[in-house]
Structure 1
């Protein structure tokens, strides 16, 4: 691995996607600020320009909606080359944004930046405690329909894993209205169709956008009538980790965490207990649960299943079984944790979240493994990650060959390289 060359290329990717106070994932395909892309890209920025990393997360937080949600896309400028546009979402508010959210990695990123930044970092993190608390409260009130710790998604895009086989059964039950407005996909202008969601899936994605718009993007109404209501292990685990990290951020404020810390501790306790309801003995890991039908959506593991270590799950028996599952998946996919089990129905090595490996998921999984003492698995995953960069900084990769797929010059893929290179994790 030519580290110097790759580092120069990674820096060029992120700087090329920099729009001043925020970054885009990649030009053309994703021309706006995406929630979790932006936050996770800040981790790479912090290795060479910490003030710029802080601006990135502060700009994202500034897009928070009055109800506390941080939206999944912020349309800071117009770009006719992307669909669905802000007009298709039909949301109100400034800045213009989509009507749904994404995995809440922001608190974890803010804490990581604070740990790099001394007194100034602690001050900036403390200043973000209020919006972070509001966003997490949004999840734990408006998106816990049973109040039992299981967090609901109302659109597959909220998971960040848009077309995962986890969603096949619940998404199939979504009716596409006869009067669904005609639309023109723009993603296929940039990426081959065989690497993207199908037209049938996209019709249902847009039907769910139409449902949210018809509800005026009022969360209580959307959840109560949701055609799609699923608990994703990825979001469940990311939020549990973020709640733990939010506790540390609250402690940075003058006077400490106070009553709000007790509130967060309650979320953590409830969320930890709820994770057991995502466990599948057949899959040997944690799976998505359809909250409308009260059943797991599939009996196979995804890379989101492996975020249990990142969340700090301590169930020894289940985590030992999950470690065996992870090892088996890496046997099948030596170029990174696949986004779906290659041995299971629905696997597609090239199609977005139905099989390909993602550098950012590898990062969060490996971080959790290292923190929880799974050093050998973390080492294997780091070796796999290193193989990916031979294909450049791509959106995702074929998990057996390492061939690059999706968008090119991708910000968070470059950010992971910079972060791991700076910490000598390869």
Structure 2
């Protein structure tokens, strides 16, 4: 197979960021294994090294808690270049981890890796997939028990970091209720690696760490955390990714699961899709989050409003409306769907999750557009992402108005996205 112009460089980045079976997002800025980063990276590895793709997921499950949660960070090896480290989290898992989670891309990745294994005749694939399938199912059970105890069909985040969209303007109102007081000394390391204008503000960080303090004081017990949480948002991006991963586990269960597991996954899938469907707002032409503390919809426009495309087959009216809305967000942009649209008062094209374009987010949106019959728009978006990467490099994110590369460089999931999206364009 002829490689894309920069595919060899993309593979080299994954090799550079390999730490012995797991991949760091980028050196120094993120020196550990991150949950959803590794899931996307495993999909990238599956294109040329299936064994290594399996290993990425297997190393991630080393951090899985006994209750099923897969944490957002696994601290396999010490590093002093990141805050907050394992001493701040104070979890008691057998492997040092954080105490919160991230979007459940794991099931999506497992299906990709398993199908790549079947296509290449990889030895031992069935046994490895079965073990990871069991881990994924335990994770999905945790999500529905711990983060949807009221049966809304929507899973909630208790910390903005869990969303993956750390300081999105969608959290501004809910986060403003969180005190800035902390019992932890904050020693930010991120602004030593990346310009402060691209990162969350100090006040945001104080609130982030207040939440960590609160949940650490709960002993990381899910019931106590749910009761104590000063930040609690039913997140459509998180729910949609979980629903899509559930569908992928259902596919795997047809050959690898028991009848009971098939039925359980089907019930999960129905519950999540029904919850998501209720979050459609025709006046906004997108889906919206729900602040469970205030009881109000969060109408701030962010990329999360389009992620349910990966999990739902919309009706004709919804499809027409959401495609027109995405086109509106693309108007005047150099590359991709921004994390916040340029017409929003909250738009900051260079600040983390408040405007920049992320390759993996556009990957998800394009998958959802294809599911809903918008192949041409998906391909057009993918082409702009590939072009931005080829122009600016494998950066963490990009200024949507100029294509300038921002944040960390030599970024693992951007390299994985380039390999996947580039083969589609």
Give the count of matched residue pairs: 419
Choose the corresponding residue for 2:175, options 144, 147, 171: 171
SS of the residue corresponding to residue 175 of structure 1 reads: coil
**1:247–1:257 CA contact under 8 A, matched in 2:** no
CA distance in 2, matches of 1:3, 1:329: 32
Unaligned 5+ segments in structure 1 are none
Pair 1:181 & 2:184 matched: yes
Aligned pairs (5 A) from 1:245-324: 245-253=248-256, 256-300=257-301, 302-324=302-324
Find the aligned partners of 1:111 and 1:46 in 2 and give their Cα distance. Answer: 10
Partner of 2:360: 360
Gaps of 5+ in 2: none
Matched, 1:141 2:140: no
Specify the alignment match of 2:154 in structure 1: 150
Per the alignment, residue 418 of structure 2 pairs with 417
Q: CA deviation at 1:387?
A: 2.1
Q: Given that residues 154 and 276 in structure 2 are in contact (C-alpha distance below 8 angstroms), is that contact kept between their aligned partners in structure 1?
A: yes
What's the counterpart of residue 132 of structure 2?
128
Question: Residue in 1 aligned with 2:227?
Answer: 224
The question of whether the paired residues in 2 share the 8 Å contact of 1:54 and 1:113 is answered with yes
SS of the residue corresponding to residue 252 of structure 1 reads helix
Residues 31-87 of structure 1 show CA distances to partners (whole Å, capped at 9, x for unaligned) of: 000000011111111112110111001111221101100000000011011100100
Check whether the contact 2:313–2:371 (CA below 8 A) recurs between aligned residues.
no
Question: Aligned ranges for residues 330-369 of structure 1 at < 5 Å?
Answer: 330-369=330-369
Name the CA shift for 1:276/1:241 in 2 (closer, same or farther; >3 Å).
same
Gap change, CA 1:299 and 1:184, over 3 Å in 2: closer
Secondary structure of 1:128's aligned partner: helix
SS in 2 for 1:216: coil
Maintained 8 Å contact 2:356/2:397: yes
TM-score calculated relative to the size of structure 1: 0.95
CA drift at 1:3: 6.4
Which stretch has the larger CA shift, 222-231 or 330-339?
330-339
Q: Deviations over 1:181-229 (max 9, x none)?
A: 2211000010001100011111100000001101000011001121000
1:17, 1:24 within 8 Å by CA — same for their partners in 2?
yes
RMSD: 1.6
Q: Distance in 1 between matches of 2:4 and 2:135?
A: 38
- Matches of 1:265 and 1:152 in 2, distance apart? 20
Q: CA separation in 2, counterparts of 1:295 and 1:315?
A: 26
Distance 2:265 2:156 in 1: 18
- Worse-matched range after superposition: 333-342 or 315-324: 315-324
Report deviation, 1:121.
3.2
Distance 1:319 1:257 in 2: 35
Instruction: Say if 1:126 and 1:250, in contact at 8 Å, map to a contact too.
Output: no
Deviations 1:328-381 (A, max 9, x none): 111142301100121112111000100000011111111221232111210221
How many Å separate the matches in 1 of 2:228 and 2:313?
32
CA distance in 1, matches of 2:202, 2:300: 25
Contact 1:72 1:158 in 2 (8 A): yes
In 1, distance between residues paired with 2:277 and 2:420?
A: 32
**Structure 1 stretch 138-147 or stretch 96-105: which is displaced more?**
138-147
Q: Work out whether 1:234 is the aligned partner of 2:233.
A: no
